[in-house]
């Protein structure tokens, strides 16, 4: 028997892998018949080896599409593997060509499951279920805000859910919790990126941006934060250009005093026209991403390069 797990949502795929392994361990308690392989020869030898306790084997095989020899050898032995009473679990995290004959065979002839990124109601249901594990409630408006900030990256989302549930301690989650624990950390870091842009240090700005992406921050949320900060700069700069004193800027901007303080300093590094042009570029990039003209990560790189 062959199980084939693949797809872009590596979080849910990893959870499915853990579920299968735990189920196997419960039934076959010796633990001696769970093996991991990354090449065909060892897999073949492992499957053919007689089990000491007459237990069913579970062989986990990873990233087979990166191994050019695997396909040829697999096809030579495919009947043996398909007919085997043992379980061969092929687990593929990396990108691969879906025109590949091995992929087509596995999808058609095995128990396969694709893990696509969750969207819409599927994503909302998953988040609610995760909060239920911690006995924490979340209403629809707060849920929408959390998705806006994190997107569908379940690795980051699961970490944020743990943090928020721990903070609330089995109480209903509030919008201000999201602002405090999820948004504020990214917002503070974005100031550093804006500083680097303002100092014309594109290399540092790109490095900071890539650190966000490596941590799993949503590209669309990062863009929304860059948009938010430059909008604040425009508001403050406009009032400065009108020769308004600082205390009036605090009142008229409608911004938090901390944001005004940072924006007041940063706005000195741009002309009003420069800020308008940057704001227009951000709008265009946002539109290009949402209409599918460009990948979000590439769009962010190009935006920083063009500012």
Report pLDDT digits (tens) over 198-214.
777 888 889 888 888 87
Q: Which residues pair with 112 in a beta bridge?
A: 4
Pairing of strands 34-37, 58-62: parallel
- How high does pLDDT run on average in the chain? 85
33: helix, strand or coil: coil
135 CA to centre of own chain: 24
pLDDT over 80 (residue 124): yes
**Tens digit of pLDDT for each residue in 138-168?**
999 999 989 877 778 788 789 889 989 999 8
pLDDT over 60 (residue 184): no
Q: Where are the domain boundaries for CATH 3.40.50.300 in the chain?
A: 2-115
Please report the pLDDT score of residue 188 as a whole number: 62
Please report the pLDDT score of residue 152 as a whole number: 81
Please report the pLDDT score of residue 256 as a whole number: 73
Phi, psi angles (nearest 5°) of residue 114 = -100, 140
* Unique residue bearing structure tokens 């069913």: 56
Which stretches of the chain are DSSP H helices? 10-27, 40-48, 68-76, 78-83, 101-109, 120-133, 140-150, 154-168, 175-178, 184-198, 202-215, 219-241, 246-253, 257-267, 272-290, 296-306
Q: Which helix (DSSP H) or strand (DSSP E) does residue 114 occupy? A: strand 111-115
pTM of the entire structure?
0.59
**Tens digit of pLDDT for each residue in 239-267?**
999 999 999 998 888 877 777 888 898 89
Please report the pLDDT score of residue 131 as a whole number: 95
Please report the pLDDT score of residue 129 as a whole number: 95
Please state, as a whole number, how many other Cβ atoms lie within 10 Å of the Cβ of residue 23. Answer: 11
Assigned token pair, 95: 């990108």
Of 53, 51, 58, 119, nearest to 89 (Cα)? Answer: 58
Phi, psi angles (nearest 5°) of residue 30 = -65, -30
Please report the pLDDT score of residue 34 as a whole number: 80
Fold of 2-115: Rossmann fold (3.40.50)
Q: Percentage of the chain surpassing pLDDT 70?
A: 95
**pLDDT higher at 2 or 69:** 2
What gap in Å lies between CA 103 and CA 115, rounded to an integer?
15
Q: Which residues contact 234 (CB under 8 A, 6 or more apart)?
A: 272, 275, 276, 279
**pLDDT higher at 35 or 162:** 162
What would the mean pLDDT of 47-74 be, rounded to a whole number? 78
**pLDDT higher at 218 or 137:** 137
Phi, psi angles (nearest 5°) of residue 90 = -95, 120
Q: Where are the domain boundaries for CATH 1.20.272.10 in the chain?
A: 183-306
Fold of 183-306: Zinc Finger, Delta Prime; domain 3 (1.20.272)
Confidence of residue 187 (pLDDT cuts 50, 70, 90): low
Please report the pLDDT score of residue 258 as a whole number: 74
Please report the pLDDT score of residue 130 as a whole number: 95
Please report the pLDDT score of residue 50 as a whole number: 65
**Tens digit of pLDDT for each residue in 65-117?**
877 788 888 888 888 888 888 888 998 877 777 888 989 999 999 999 999 98
DSSP state letter for 64: G
């Amino acid at each position: 028997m062959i199980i084939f797990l693949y797809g872009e949502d590596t979080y849910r795929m990893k959870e499915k892998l853990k579920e299968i392994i735990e189920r196997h361990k419960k039934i076959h308690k010796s633990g001696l018949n769970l093996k991991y392989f990354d090449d065909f020869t060892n897999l073949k030898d492992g499957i053919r080896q007689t089990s000491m306790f007459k237990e069913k084997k579970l062989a986990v095989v990873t990233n087979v599409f990166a191994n050019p020899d695997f396909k040829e050898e697999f096809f030579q032995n495919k009947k043996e593997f398909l007919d085997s009473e043992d379980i061969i679990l092929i687990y593929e995290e990396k990108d691969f060509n879906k025109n590949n004959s091995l992929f087509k065979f596995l999808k058609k002839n095995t128990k396969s499951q694709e893990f696509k990124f969750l969207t819409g109601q599927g994503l909302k249901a998953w988040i609610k279920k995760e909060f239920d594990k911690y006995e924490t409630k979340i209403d629809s408006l707060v849920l929408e805000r959390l998705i806006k900030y994190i997107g569908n990256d379940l690795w980051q989302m699961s970490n944020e859910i743990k943090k928020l549930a721990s903070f609330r301690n089995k109480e209903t989650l509030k919008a201000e919790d999201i602002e405090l624990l999820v948004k504020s950390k990214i917002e503070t870091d974005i100031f550093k990126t804006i500083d680097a842009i303002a100092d014309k240090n594109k290399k540092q700005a790109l490095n900071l941006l890539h650190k966000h992406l490596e941590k799993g921050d949503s590209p669309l949320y990062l863009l929304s934060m860059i948009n938010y900060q430059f909008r604040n700069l425009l508001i403050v700069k406009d009032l400065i250009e009108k020769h308004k004193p600082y205390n009036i800027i605090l009142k008229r901007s409608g911004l938090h005093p901390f944001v005004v303080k940072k924006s007041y300093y940063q706005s000195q590094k741009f002309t009003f026209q420069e800020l308008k042009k940057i704001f227009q570029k951000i709008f265009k990039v946002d539109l290009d991403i949402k209409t599918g003209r460009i990948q979000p990560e590439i769009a962010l790189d190009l935006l920083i390069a063009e500012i």
